[in-house]
Amino acid sequence: MASAAEQLAQNLNFSAFSKATELKQRIWFTLGALLIYRLGTYIPLPGIDPQALADIFRQNQSGILGMFNMFAGGAIGRMAIFALNIMPYISASIIIQLLTTVSPHLEQLKKEGEQGRKQINQYTRYGTVVLATLQGYGIAVGLEGAGNVVTDPGLFFRLTTVITLVGGTVFLMWLGEQITARGIGNGISLIIFSGIVAELPSAIAGTFELGRQGALSTPLILGIFVMAIAVVAFIVFMERAQRRLIVQYPKRQMGNRMFQGDSSHLPLKLNTAGVIPPIFASSLLLLPITFANFSAGQGPEWLNTITALVGRGQPLYLMMYISLIVFFAFFYTAVVFNPKDTADNLKQYGGFIPGIRPGERTAEYIDYVLTRITVVGAAYLAFVCIIPEILISYAAVPFYFGGTALLIVVSVTMDTVAQVQSHLLAHQYEGLIKKAKLRGGRRR
């Protein structure tokens, strides 16, 4: 089976792609959905003075506000209807998953399979609406206190702003679910991915323009791009790294025939959590501070102090960022991979790890190995996300395409390409089966 899969993978070409009708429909649906998202990032909120908003954003774009704008695909700088992006949904997911570990009701729903997951997703949607409402109201109040940004401040502006921003977030949440179900790849990740990629050309052009003006030296610009290429190569290597546990199956007798025992392996990814830890960490750091930035230093003194301490590139910000990445790396790995369930499945089918007793001991061994490789995975995530942040902050480089963005872009690209290849392989398998049936019918 493995050799057949490898042979099919080698034969994947444009001819096979042209015949995969369902795959093409999924790709076109995904592209159309992302195009709708990008159009929404250019539709501004009503009652906003674009020039005054651009002046305020220009003063804060080098900090956390600029990083949030990167995830939102430029919607924050234009204060578009998708300014909140998908971040309230991610924050709600964090809260629900944390509550799952302490709430017996949510824990029971998680064990109920598909029906339980639907109920948990419904709670996440309700939480998204609540968080988006609070954040939308905070943005409306912040815009009114930011100077001459709002042309007609008052209750009506706040109401329309909250309704528009909440509606935009709910629409993006629905759009992401549709991409996941009817398109290619994970919809939520692709929405964030498309926002980052859309802002990349303008960031590169701005960097070259600063080099032409002499604000940045040529060696520094070359160093930035060399660093980006090296980080991409490192991410690809680490994302493909895995620890393989050997699994053996005993001899089996079926009728009068004796089948030899087979051996396989249980792959444990070095980074089981994927891009979730940096996204979760960024959302928790970005959302509370974003509102303070809109006040342009006119807020309470304690809020301005916190904003300064947790500013991008500050030691406290870097420490909190690393701590959150490490925490969510372990937390999300525990959510998506259950060693006990894996050990029970191996025992059910007669598989065992050599030298380890099936059942509870196998679960303990898998958890032992998974914990140790997650330490390496968490260190890798923290390194990739922090090193570019330090270089950008202390080298005064106005190029925000740092480690977190590169990690999201590379990981989402690899996952999407893997899904495309899976669809092509399935299509070619179906073609081979149909040909075999036709040949069998002709022989009869």
Predicted confidence (pLDDT) at residue 297 exceeds the cutoff of 60:
no
Predicted TM-score of the model (pTM):
0.77
Q: Is residue 290 part of a domain?
A: yes
Residue 288 has pLDDT above 90, yes or no: no
Domain total for the chain?
A: 1
CA–CA separation, 428 vs 421, rounded Å?
10
Per the structure, the complete domain to which residue 331 belongs is given by: 25-443
pLDDT of residue 65: 62
Strands 242-248 and 257-259: unpaired
**Is 418 part of any domain?**
yes
What does the mean pLDDT of the chain come to?
A: 78
Residue 344 lies in a domain: yes
23 by DSSP, 3-state: which? helix
pLDDT, position 3: 42
pLDDT of residue 260: 61
Distances (CA, A) of 80 to 154, 177, 183, 236: 19, 21, 25, 34
Q: With bands split at pLDDT 50, 70 and 90, how would you rate the model's confidence at 66?
A: low
Q: What is the pLDDT of residue 67?
A: 65
Q: Which two tokens stand for residue 407?
A: 């990690």
- Compute how many other C-beta atoms are within 10 angstroms of the C-beta atom of residue 376: 14
Which pLDDT score, from 0 to 100, does residue 168 have?
92
The pLDDT value given to residue 240: 87
Binned at pLDDT 50, 70 and 90, residue 357 comes out as: confident
In a domain, 387, yes or no: yes
Tracing tokens 């309470």 back to the chain, one arrives at: 300
Q: Is residue 154 part of a domain?
A: yes
Percentage above 90 pLDDT, the chain: 12
Q: Which pLDDT score is estimated for 12?
A: 47
Residue 298 lies in a domain: yes
pLDDT of residue 173: 92
Least confident span in 94-103, 356-365, 425-434:
425-434
CATH of the domain at 195: 1.10.3370.10
What are the beta bridge partners of residue 328?
A: none
DSSP 8-state secondary structure symbol assigned to residue 43: S
**Residue 11 confidence (pLDDT):** 47
Specify the pLDDT at position 304: 65
Q: Indicate whether 18 belongs to any domain.
A: no
Is the CB of residue 96 less than 8 Å from the CB of residue 120?
yes
Report which of residues 349 and 229 the model is more confident about. 229
Q: Which residues pair with 352 in a beta bridge?
A: 248
Query: Interhelix angle for 403-443 vs 218-240, to 10°?
Result: 40
Which pLDDT value is given to residue 338? 83
Burial environment of residue 271 by CB neighbours within 10 A (0 to 12, 13 to 18, 19 or more):
buried
pLDDT in tens, 368-406: 999 999 999 999 999 888 877 776 666 656 555 566 778
Distance CA 284, CA 254 (A): 56
pLDDT in tens, 248-283: 877 665 556 655 667 778 888 888 888 888 878 877
Evaluate whether residue 83 is within a structural domain: yes
